[in-house]
Amino acid sequence: MTDPRFAGIGMTSARTRDRLVQRLRDQGIANLAVLDRIRNLPRHIFVDEALASRAYEDTALPIGFGQTISQPYIVARMTEALLEGPPLRKVLEVGTGCGYQSAVLAPLVERIYSIERISGLLERAKERLKELGVRNVRFKLGDGSEGWKSMAPFDGIIVAAAALTVPEELLAQLEVNGRLIVPAGTEGQQQLLRIVRREQGYERRVLGPVSFVPLVGGVG
Ligand code: SAH
């Protein structure tokens, strides 16, 4: 990361990032690899320049096409919940968006397969990750609620948009003992779930209330 834009100045400086990481710790994020990655990864390059000074606030921000970059706390919480357990080799991500979640997760797993339905977002995310030197993410334009069948099964799946109920295909593409982190429910009533596939059925744990954009069918 030698690009001077990545270092940041003023409101995007290392000190501002440290404050964000401290805040995440105070809110209960304990995984040091996750905290470290968030400290070292510039979030300001994932948002419009006009919003760069707000990139280290713990808040969602617009990324165009009516979508948002997730709140850092949510990215940290989901990443931590996904990593809990044996090391992950193959992770499916639904909802690439600006690519921030993929970039946080990339050095912590072997390989990511990331699906986004809006091509404008996908293309920008690809460019950013390339600039950052992230090379273990494969992207696809498509409807992530159908998963990525040719690459299945996955030992981890992480979903950044909420459906009323958890898509069947995602459950089906989960390996035995694999885990799925997914928001589900109606607007205003969504819960973040951690689902683990067992030999016989699925174990569910509710991680808490969340607010995600809807999981939309088809490619837009
Ligand atoms: N992971 C992003 C969050 C993006 S917001 C981050 O790091 O900030 C959720 C994204 O899910 C949006 O970009 C939206 O277009 C996408 N999305 C919604 N429904 C989808 C679907 N069925 N398949 C793939 N992507 C979807």
pLDDT for 117-158, tens place per residue? 999 999 999 999 999 999 999 999 999 999 999 999 999 999
CATH of the domain at 105: 3.40.50.150
Question: What proportion of the chain, given as a percentage, has pLDDT over 90?
Answer: 88
The separation between CA 30 and the C-alpha centre of its own chain, rounded to angstroms, equals 17
State in Å: Cα 196 to ligand 1 middle: 22
- For 60-66, which contacts have Cβ atoms below 8 Å and span 24 or more sequence positions? 63/97, 63/98, 63/121, 64/120, 64/121, 65/118, 65/120, 65/121, 65/220, 66/213
Domain-located, residue 28: no
Helix axes 32-40, 72-83, angle to 10 degrees: 140
β strands within 56-212, DSSP E = 61-64, 67-69, 90-94, 111-116, 137-141, 154-159, 174-184, 191-197, 202-209
More confident residue, 216 or 219: 216
Please name the residue whose Cα sits nearest to atom 8 of ligand 1. 69
More confident residue, 1 or 135: 135
Total number of domains in the chain: 1
Ligand 1 contacts (CB < 6 A) are 67-70, 94-95, 97-98, 100-101, 115-118, 121, 143-145, 160-161, 213, 215-217
AA identity, residue 178:
G
| CB contact at 8 A, 48 and 42 | no
Whose structure tokens read 């600039």?
131
Domain-located, residue 174: yes
| Mean of per-residue pLDDT scores for the chain | 95
State in Å: Cα 97 to ligand 1 middle: 5
Specify the 3-state DSSP secondary structure of 207.
strand
Task: Please give the pLDDT value at position 6.
Answer: 83
Q: What is the pTM of this model?
A: 0.96
- pLDDT by residue (tens digit) across 78-111? 999 999 999 999 999 999 999 999 999 999 999 9
- Asked if the model's pLDDT at residue 1 lies above 60, the reply is no
User: Given ligand 1 and candidates 116, 121, 210, which is best to mutate, with the most ligand atoms within 8 Å of its CB?
Assistant: 116
Residues of the domain holding 114: 60-209
Q: Give the pLDDT band (50/70/90) at residue 2.
A: low
User: Given ligand 1 and candidates 43, 67, 113, 146, which is best to mutate, with the most ligand atoms within 8 Å of its CB?
Assistant: 67
| CB contact at 8 A, 89 and 110 | yes
Domain-located, residue 11: no
Task: Please give the pLDDT value at position 193.
Answer: 98
Domain-located, residue 215: no
Residues 38 and 35: their CA atoms lie apart, in Å, by: 5
Residues 206 and 199: their CA atoms lie apart, in Å, by: 21
Domain-located, residue 26: no
- Asked if the model's pLDDT at residue 11 lies above 90, the reply is no
Domain-located, residue 139: yes
State in Å: Cα 109 to ligand 1 middle: 20
Domain-located, residue 45: no
Domain-located, residue 163: yes
For residue 113, the cross-strand partners are: 92, 138
